[in-house]
Amino acid sequence: MSKPLNVIEATALLKTAEKELKRCTDGGEKVTPGNHDFDLVIHLDGSLSRGVDTTQSPNFYMDKFLKPLLLSYAATLNKEYDAEVKKNPKTAKKDGVKPGTAWLETMMNVNGALGAIIQLGADKVLETSDSTLVALYNKCEEEAKEKFRAVTPKAARAGNTVVVANLERSSPTKVVAAKRVIKKVDEL
């Protein structure tokens, strides 16, 4: 029975195998559908170094915050409308659709603004957008990243692991034939 790998050996094997897989796929090799048998023995020698663990802020994704932002804005429009109707019932819309709901429907409906952007393509819409508005959006996004990093607790991050190794395919040693030599009693 073979001795199990320790964490250093397993990590070195994993990192080296990932590099080898990338080399193969970059070279155009693919795994075809079906079952594939294999029998190989490998020899791996090298070294593994690990940097000091650190902490870092989680990644910031603006799209994660856009949905709550849009919904919050629509709700604010509806609350303002409800307050106005409460003060003056004559201002109520006859169709009963609140402005926040109508705004969100116009923005997010596939037959509305979002649908048009999907149809035209996001990059083309950005190319034709007012550069002042794009700059303002980019500035706000950068400020949001900074705020996110300031208020979000940092998460533990493992130090970089670097493996320098030589991976070789070894030929398994197989017994092809065995001869039994019987010695005569008088030769002993």
The pLDDT of residue 26 is above 70: yes
Provide the pLDDT for residue 180: 60
Digit-coded pLDDT (tens) for 133-174:
999 999 999 999 999 999 999 888 888 888 888 888 876 555
User: What is the rounded distance in angstroms from the CA atom of residue 150 to the CA atom of residue 165?
Assistant: 40
User: What is the rounded distance in angstroms from the CA atom of residue 186 to the CA atom of residue 121?
Assistant: 95
Domain ranges of the chain: 7-51+160-187, 62-155
The pLDDT of residue 55 is above 80: yes
User: What is the rounded distance in angstroms from the CA atom of residue 98 to the CA atom of residue 90?
Assistant: 14
The pLDDT of residue 184 is above 80: no
The tokens 């029975």 sit on which residue? 1
User: What is the rounded distance in angstroms from the CA atom of residue 77 to the CA atom of residue 103?
Assistant: 9
* Cβ 55 vs Cβ 173: under 8 Å: no
Residue 88 token pair = 């003056």
Provide the pLDDT for residue 181: 58
Please state the φ and ψ torsions of residue 105, each to the nearest 5 degrees.
-65, -45
Provide the pLDDT for residue 188: 53
Least confident of 1-5, 50-54, 183-187: 183-187
